[in-house]
Amino acid sequence: MPDVDKPVEILLVEDNPTDAELCIRALKTHNLANKLVWVKDGAEALDFLNGRGDFARRSASNLPKVVMLDLRLPKVDGLEVIRHIRSDDRLKLIPIVVLTSSKDDRDVHESYELGANAFVSKPVEFNEFAAAVAQLGLFWLLVNKPPL
């Protein structure tokens, strides 16, 4: 059972355990993973954001500062997650960073069209991948000023 009461800064939506572990490790190296929740599919991401299922006890005011979102997800794909977030007045201002292995121009275009704030293709090489994730975390958590 996830810890539904702790503050959340990053919602990591990633179905690949290896990629998720690399993201978490890169963020931990920079002390940015203390308030991270990892979910493994789009349906679980929507449950988290809407306080349903395993997250029914989570406070509605406990929204992440950023969603790091893969596109190719089981149950509900990443593009549908973006659609949902941007159509909900309570969620629509949460920054969304698409972090995916896709390099397809259509995925880039549609992600931005739906309201993603950034699109990052996962580098194949471990050190590049770790550096990219760390830079994303530093920017969205420490540099970016979120709306009130």
Ordered domains of the chain (ranges, CATH): 10-142 (3.40.50.2300)
Helix axes 105-114, 78-87, angle to 10 degrees: 20
Asked if pLDDT for residue 1 goes beyond 50, the answer is no
Q: For 113-130, write each residue's pLDDT tens digit.
A: 999 999 998 877 888 888
- Name the residue among 124, 123, 118, 110 with its Cα closest to residue 137: 118
Of the pLDDT bands very low, low, confident and very high (cuts 50, 70, 90), residue 111 is very high
Contact 88, 109 (CB under 8 A): no
C-alpha span between 132 and 6 (Å, rounded):
26
Of the pLDDT bands very low, low, confident and very high (cuts 50, 70, 90), residue 148 is low
Where are the strands (E) in 1-148, listed by range?
10-13, 36-39, 66-69, 96-100, 118-121
Residue 144, pLDDT score: 82
More confident residue, 63 or 123: 63
Round to the nearest angstrom and report the end-to-end CA distance of the chain. Answer: 30
Asked if pLDDT for residue 59 goes beyond 90, the answer is no
More confident residue, 42 or 1: 42
Of the pLDDT bands very low, low, confident and very high (cuts 50, 70, 90), residue 6 is low
Residue 58, pLDDT score: 84
The residue to which tokens 């949902």 are assigned: 84
